[in-house]
Chain A
Amino acid sequence: MSDNVIISAQNVQKYFKGGEIKALDGVSADIRRGEVVVVIGPSGSGKSTFLRCLNLLEVPTGGSILFNGVDITDKKVNINRHRQKMGMVFQHFNLFPHMTILQNMTLAPMQLLKKSKAEAEEKAMSLLERVGLADRANAYPSQLSGGQKQRVAIVRALCMDPEVMLFDEPTSALDPEMVGEVLDVMKELAREGMTMVVVTHEMGFAREVGSRVLFMDGGKLVEENTPNEFFANPQNERTKLFLSKVL
């Protein structure tokens, strides 16, 4: 295994109801540093489950996840420590409604990284500045639009200085005119060299920013290729069918 690999999923399985439902049926994939890996597939294909297995929000039934070479499915591993290095952005934002934007962003750095309030706020403000939301620092999540909420969710994760960012359909719950502002933030993040794993239906994003595309169906990894090859020259029948429907 090369040093460059940051996450290595090895034969990951996730079964429900004692094996009756196989959400993930032996998926293996490596995520390398600086890569933007886009995971696409029809709904129910297991792509979100796969992403959620990467930081163990979903505990795999079998297989292992190596993060920086450590098998985090091992129950002796303190998963909380590793999750600090894996930022996650959700479809429904999941901002904390009882806290202001600034409090949302400083809670984890202050509690977990033991940063001082001033230090945490300084970092939060500079990140808010970059996504154009510095003036909303003291607003509550309910006072923000969907696109603004998702931008805050992204920078909230960035406050922990993660090594990799996991995106679970970050634009699926947004009004169409707000998708762009969120994708722009993600593109900038990719340009800065952040390692990203993105589950999405945004084919344009996959083509433009992705370094690799994983196509999943029925809990299996069906095809894996560079975006250009993937969209221009799909190999698998299932992939061809899917692309003919979405493009």
Chain B
Amino acid sequence: MTWFETIKLAVLAWFEDFKADFILNFIEDNRWKYLTTGLGNTLKITLLSLLIGVVLGIIVAIIRSSHDNIAHEMRPGIGKFLLNFANGVCKVYLTVFRGTPVVVQLMIMYYIIFASSRNGVLVASLAFGINSGAYVAEIFRSGIMAIDAGQMEAGRSLGFGYVATMRHIILPQAFKNVLPALANEFITLLKETSVAGYVTVRDLTMGGNIIRSVTYSPFLPLFAVALIYLALVMFFTWLVGKLERRLRTGER
């Protein structure tokens, strides 16, 4: 037997093993469905929590930066009191949700606060969204604070109110500046949802793990899961890059 035939046989044997492994893990009993339903749930949770996180984050960021910018020059009254109060609430929110592990928050949410709910996907989305909102808030706040104070003054001098100036002039610029950081948060969020299995949600990671526990063959299911996450992240990175280039047209 030549060395060539030895290698050929080895490769063929490995390929046979791989094929058997593949059939065992994905084809038999339609086990691939664990991955596709898992992927569906992962995407559902990610997109829903992204939505919650961005909305929550923008609101918190506006309150926090408004407080830092204008509270000291506001005249005493109900407006100043409300802004101070809202700022205090936001600070507690940021401290608590950035200061505790997301898995713990998730379990508290599922087993205590929404103990009567059977909708794990929704509860998980809420948990990840509220957690992500804390990080998005700081991202947006840095974006808002980075805008030159002259922009606010120009808006106000034309007759726009504070909120209208924020909406038409400050936030569009801030959003563009924070897009890379926001994309980063999104990628983190996508992968963070892999702990949703802690509250019995059948997400992508859980799907792979179920297959592994049934077939006792960890290699293919876990690498398949990893590959799917990687492909998703690469796809979204590409998408955000396109969006960034589009927003930049005409400028600089």
A residues bordering B, Cβ < 8 Å?
A: 55, 57, 59, 75, 80-81, 83-84, 86-88, 90, 92, 94-98, 100, 107-108, 111-112, 139-140, 142-143, 156-157, 160
Contact = CB atoms under 8 A, between A and B. Distances in A.
B12 interface: no
Interface string B166-183: 001100110010000000
Contacts of B169: 96
A112 B158 contact: yes
Contact of A94 (B77, B153, B172, B176): B153
Contact of A83 (B73, B157, B251, B252): B157
A107 B160 CA distance: 10
A195 B77 CA distance: 35
Contacts of B164: 111
A198 B28 CA distance: 83
A142 B251 CA distance: 6
Interface string B237-252: 0000000000000111
B168 A111 contact: yes
Contacts of B150: 90, 92, 94
Contact of A84 (B73, B151, B158): B158
B157 A55 contact: yes
Q: Which of A94, A95, A107, A139 has the most CB of B within 10 A?
A: A94
Given A59-B75, A80-B159, A98-B176, 20 more contacts: A57-B153, A83-B157, A83-B158, A87-B157, A90-B150, A90-B157, A92-B148, A94-B150, A94-B151, A96-B154, A97-B173, A98-B251, A107-B158, A111-B164, A111-B168, A112-B160, A142-B252, A143-B250, A160-B158, A160-B159
A88 B157 contact: yes
A67 to B, nearest CB: 13
6 contacts: A75-B77, A80-B161, A94-B153, A96-B151, A107-B168, A157-B157
Interface of B: 73, 75, 77, 148, 150-151, 153-154, 156-161, 164, 168-169, 172-173, 176, 250-252
Secondary structure class of chain B's binding surface, majority of residues: helix
Nearest to B149: A94
Contacts of B148: 92, 94
Contact of B250 (A80, A100, A111): A100
Contacts of B159: 80-81, 83-84, 108, 112, 160
The list of the 3 closest CB pairs from A to B, nearest first, reads A84-B159, A94-B154, A88-B157
Contacts of B158: 83-84, 107-108, 112, 156-157, 160
A80 B158 CA distance: 8
Contacts of B77: 75
Contacts of A111: 160, 164, 168
B124 to A, nearest CB: 36
A97 B73 CA distance: 27
A87 B73 CA distance: 23
A88 B154 CA distance: 8
Nearest to B176: A98
A223 B34 CA distance: 84
A80 B160 contact: yes
Contacts of B252: 142
B173 A98 contact: yes
Contacts of A59: 73, 75
A83 B156 contact: yes
Contacts of A143: 250
Q: Which of B169, B172, B252 has the most CB of A within 10 A?
A: B169
B63 to A, nearest CB: 21
Nearest to B247: A98
B96 to A, nearest CB: 35
Contacts of A86: 157
A90 B172 contact: no
B218 to A, nearest CB: 50
A157 B154 CA distance: 9
Contacts of A112: 158-160
Nearest to B162: A80
B250 A140 contact: yes
B168 A90 contact: no
B214 to A, nearest CB: 54
Contact of A57 (B156, B160, B172, B250): B156
A79 to B, nearest CB: 9
Contacts of A90: 150, 153-154, 157
A199 B164 CA distance: 28
Q: Which of A55, A98, A142 has the most CB of B within 10 A?
A: A98
